[in-house]
Structure formats: C-alpha cells, structure tokens
C-alpha cells in the first residue's frame, strides 16, 4: 500500500521559466505538506537533474524559450527507458494537451493555476507513480526469484528427501501466492450477479480472475491463464495482476491497458512465458467492451432469444511479441443475459478414459440452465465437472466466471 507519508515525502521538480509561477507552485506544494520540492528555470538542466535525483513528479511548463516542454520530455525518455514519464504538464493552450499526453506526459494542469486542482492532480499522479515503481521493483524481484528457483531445481533434481521437502514447501508457497490473487469475496455491482469458480491443480497453475470498480461507475472483470506451472506461474500472475490494477487506477482505456501490460510482460518475463486473457468492461446499464487476448471464446446467452453468441476478438497473447496493438469490441448485456468466461482447463478436463468436458457440453449446459439464472448455471457446471473428472487430478486449472445482468 502507498501511504500519505510516502506521497508527501516524494521528490518533486518544478520547471518553469517564470519565477512567479515557480514561487506559486512551491507555496502550493509546500503548503500541502510536500517536503522535497526543487525547481529550475532552465529547461536544459532537467534531464541531468532527473538523472541525479530521479524525481517522482516533474511539473513541466510547455512554453519556455530556448527549449520547450516537448523537447524536455524527449530528453527524459532517454532516462526513463521503460517509457513511464512522471510528468505533469502545465499549459494555457488547450491544443497542447492532447499532444503532451501523446508525447508521454501523464496528466496536465491548465493555466491560470488553481490551488485545489494542483494539489489533487499532483497527489493522484504521485500515488500512481509510486505504485508503478513498487510494481516495477516487485517484478524485478520476481524475475530474479524465478530464475534462481528454476536453475536450482534443474541442478538439484530432488537428490534426497530434504530436497523434496523443500520443493513441497516452495510449491505450497506458490499455491498460497496463487490463492491470494483471487478476490476474498465476490463484488456486488449494480444490476449484476457474479458467480466464480477456481480449482487449481496440484502443480499450481496460472489461472486467476479479478474485478475492479472504476471511478466512472463502470467495472472491469478479467480472467487470465498464465503459461507454465508452479512458482514461475504464480509470480507471473502476481506481476500481471499488479500491472492491470495500476493501469486501471489511472483511468486508462482497456486497449491501452493491454498495450502497456504486453510491453511490460515482454520485457520482464522469461522467454516462452505468455498469458491468455479475457477482459471486459461494463456500465451499470450493461454497455461496455471486451478484449480476448489469445483466450478461448467467451459465451453470451441472450435471454430474449435463447441464443448463444460467441465472443472472440482474435487479439494476440500477452507477453510474446513486442509490437502488438489490442483493440476492444463492443459488449452489451440486456436484462436476463448471462456472460460465461472460462479457461481451457474447463473444456479440457477429462477422466481416466480420456473423455473430455468439451465445448459442445459447455454450450449445451448454458443453453439448458442459463434461463434459470447464474446460480443454477454455476451449480450445473460444478456437477458436470465432478461427473466428467470422477475425482481424477487434472493437469490444468479449472476456472470460470458467470455474470448475469438481472435488471
């Protein structure tokens, strides 16, 4: 968690060629309790100052003689190689706002300056910046831990009982990590009922789901399937969930969220690791959008017609390719409609006779049980899973979400 003390102790740099503006911003920030506020009236000094001090927030005027704010941001990009510029631009030109955001700035303040707006935007940006840095540092630690544990596993090969015990402890830790990613209780969103199920394998897979309420009143649901098993899958799941939460807290659109997350995973994960994901955003009225990143199709039962629609957008998996641009598709749930999202562990569940659950069985259950509501549909899924697996351990997680718009 990021505390108010962490935010107020953040390092801030003010860049403006007008002394009056610098002094005004210093008074506003110091009056709000910030204890580390520096300034410069020379934009040519910004890159070197940031290289030395690594500011958490840079308040940057766009209109300055000799070197404007856009040129300053280009210099900062050479330092912030991951593309995250902690820049809050200051401008009196409405036409410059979009250009500044496209150049890498995270937010803007309009002139003339208003005390409340400066305080609010600075605080919000610092909270997101610190969350970003925390996730970045955590991902490095996770990556290092994965390399060490997997290299150790290859060398040791369980030579004795003590080593087996250690591995069991590590897998138990991975299982606890995986469980901690799931919501402790299902959320209550206006006009919706949600059912969910996750049955991890003894090998600790990488399935997880989560929900996030946005400040706009809309909400986001996601079900992801991380490649691999064991500790590496659990850690990659944790990194992915942290990145998604950070991006959506900033109010980013779903397609841009996945573009950023894909870049993070591509840079930070081990070769051969990737994620399939189905993400959807809905308003209380049932209007929204979805993205399927290499995931198996979701199904949407229409109560008015009794028909089932297949939802798939054909986007690539996450983390495998550097240059991927994700696109969202429209989604609209009417009263009585039910959305079913699942991992392939459900349809590939099987018994000792190699009989699989399969897509046909899944669609048939939805067709028969969805008219009775989401709870009845969930119970039928659970019964069908038990019947097909006959208690046989599975090699992949079985996970599904059932979302019903009841009014």
Q: Which domains does the chain have, with CATH numbers?
A: 4-130 (3.40.50.2300), 158-405 (3.60.40.10)
Across-strand partners of 401? 196, 341
**Predicted pLDDT of residue 48:** 94
Q: How far apart are CA 377 and CA 356, in angstroms?
A: 19
Q: Examine the pLDDT at 291 and tell me if it is beyond 60.
A: yes
The two most distant CA atoms of the chain are separated, in Å, by 79
Q: Burial, 387: exposed, middle or buried (Cβ in 10 Å; 0-12, 13-18, 19+)?
A: exposed
Query: What digits encode the pLDDT tens for the residues 61-85?
Result: 998 988 999 999 999 989 887 767 8
Task: List Cα–Cα distances, 306 to 84, 295, 336, 338, 392, in angstroms.
Answer: 47, 24, 10, 11, 34
Q: How far apart are CA 262 and CA 319, in angstroms?
A: 5
Task: List Cα–Cα distances, 170 to 203, 230, 344, 351, 396, in angstroms.
Answer: 11, 9, 26, 28, 19
Confidence of residue 10 (pLDDT cuts 50, 70, 90): very high
Q: How far apart are CA 245 and CA 232, in angstroms?
A: 20
Q: Examine the pLDDT at 156 and tell me if it is beyond 90.
A: no
- For residue 94, give the DSSP letter: T
Give first-to-last CA distance, the chain, whole Å.
36
Residue scoring higher pLDDT (4 or 160): 4
DSSP H stretches of helix in 182-314: 230-249, 254-268
Mean pLDDT, rounded, of the chain: 86
**Predicted pLDDT of residue 403:** 98
Confidence of residue 142 (pLDDT cuts 50, 70, 90): low
**In the structure encoding, which two tokens stand for residue 64, read together?**
């300055």
Q: Burial, 224: exposed, middle or buried (Cβ in 10 Å; 0-12, 13-18, 19+)?
A: buried
Lowest mean pLDDT among 7-16, 141-150, 366-375: 141-150
Please answer whether residues 350 and 356 qualify as being in contact, where contact means their C-beta atoms are separated by less than 8 angstroms. yes
**Predicted pLDDT of residue 112:** 86
**Predicted pLDDT of residue 94:** 80
Task: List Cα–Cα distances, 398 to 235, 276, 284, 312, 345, in angstroms.
Answer: 19, 14, 28, 20, 5
Angle at 224 between CA 218 and CA 225, to 5 degrees: 175
Look at strands 36-40 and 11-15 and give their pairing.
parallel
Lowest mean pLDDT among 35-49, 197-211, 258-272, 391-405: 197-211
Query: What digits encode the pLDDT tens for the residues 161-213?
Result: 666 666 566 556 555 655 666 787 898 999 999 999 987 765 555 788 999 99
Residue 188 zone, left/alpha/beta (φ > 0; ψ -120 to 50; rest): beta
User: Could you tell me the strand order of the sheet in which 298-301 lies?
Assistant: 192-199, 398-405, 338-342, 298-301, 308-311
Q: How far apart are CA 28 and CA 296, in angstroms?
A: 51
**Predicted pLDDT of residue 101:** 85
Helix (H), strand (E) counts: the chain: 12, 15
**Predicted pLDDT of residue 80:** 85
SS3 state at 279:
strand
Q: Examine the pLDDT at 323 and tell me if it is beyond 90.
A: no
> pTM score > 0.75 for this model?
no
Confidence of residue 148 (pLDDT cuts 50, 70, 90): low
**Within 13 Å and on the Cβ side, how many CA atoms surround 115?**
7
């Amino acid at each position: 968690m990021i505390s108010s003390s962490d935010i107020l102790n953040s390092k801030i740099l003010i860049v403006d060629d007008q002394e009056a503006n610098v002094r005004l911003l210093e008074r506003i920030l110091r009056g709000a309790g910030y204890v580390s506020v520096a300034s410069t009236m020379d934009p040519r000094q910004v890159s070197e100052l940031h290289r030395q001090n690594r500011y958490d927030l840079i308040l940057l005027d766009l209109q300055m003689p000799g070197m404007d704010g856009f040129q300053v941001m280009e210099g900062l990009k050479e330092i912030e190689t991951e593309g995250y510029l902690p820049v809050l631009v200051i401008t009196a030109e409405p036409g410059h706002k979009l250009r500044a955001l496209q150049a890498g700035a995270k937010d803007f303040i309009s002139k003339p300056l208003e005390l409340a707006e400066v305080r609010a935007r600075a605080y919000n940006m610092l909270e997101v910046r610190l969350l970003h840095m925390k996730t970045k540092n955590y991902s490095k630690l996770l990556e290092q831990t994965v390399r060490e544990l997997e290299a150790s596993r290859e060398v040791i090969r369980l030579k004795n009982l003590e080593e087996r015990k250690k591995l069991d402890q590590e897998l138990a830790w991975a299982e606890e990590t995986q469980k901690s990613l799931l919501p402790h209780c299902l959320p209550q969103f206006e006009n919706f009922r949600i059912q969910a199920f996750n049955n991890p394998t003894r090998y600790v897979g990488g399935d997880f789901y989560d929900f996030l309420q946005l400040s706009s009143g809309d909400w986001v649901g996601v079900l992801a399937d991380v490649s691999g098993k064991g500790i590496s899958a659990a850690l990659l799941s944790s990194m992915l969930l942290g990145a998604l939460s950070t991006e959506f807290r900033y109010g980013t659109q779903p397609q841009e969220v996945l573009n950023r997350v894909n870049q993070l995973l591509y840079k930070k994960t081990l070769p051969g690791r990737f994620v399939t994901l189905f993400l959807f955003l809905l308003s209380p009225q049932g209007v929204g959008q979805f993205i399927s990143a290499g995931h198996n199709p979701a199904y949407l039962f229409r109560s008015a017609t009794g028909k089932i629609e297949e939802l798939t957008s054909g986007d690539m998996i996450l983390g495998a390719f550097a240059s991927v641009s994700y696109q969202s598709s429209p989604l609209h749930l009417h009263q009585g409609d039910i959305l079913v999202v699942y991992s392939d562990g459900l349809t590939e569940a099987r018994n000792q006779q190699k009989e699989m659950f399969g897509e046909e069985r899944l669609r048939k259950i939805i067709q028969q049980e969805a008219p009775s509501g989401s709870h009845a549909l969930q119970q039928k899924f659970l019964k069908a899973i038990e019947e097909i697996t006959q208690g046989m351990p599975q090699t992949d997680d079985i996970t599904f979400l059932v979302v019903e718009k009841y009014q």
